[in-house]
Amino acid sequence: MRDPARIEPILELIRKVWSASPDLRLSQLLVTVIRPTEPCPQVFYFEDTELLKRLQHAVAAITTPSTDSNNGP
């Protein structure tokens, strides 16, 4: 398992860099920092509003109890 302690320092650095360039989308920031060898337009142009929706959906999926039909009465 990866060390969960790595998350907060990474998020803090993203916050600092992004705050210095607030016109960038998060996906633009990450692609610019990572500098992939192949272009990633699907990631680079991903809108923050769509990312927010998908993250909210992901949070709902991990916080909502499963309704597995095999566990019912």
- With CA atoms as reference, report the closest residue to 46 among 17, 25, 31: 25
What percent of the chain stands above pLDDT 70? Answer: 90
pLDDT in tens, 10-33: 999 999 999 999 999 999 999 999
- Boundaries of every domain in the chain: 18-62
pLDDT in tens, 28-47: 999 999 999 999 999 999 99
- CB 31: neighbour CB atoms within 10 A? 19
pLDDT of 69 higher than 90: no
What is the C-alpha separation between 46 and 55, in angstroms, rounded? Answer: 13
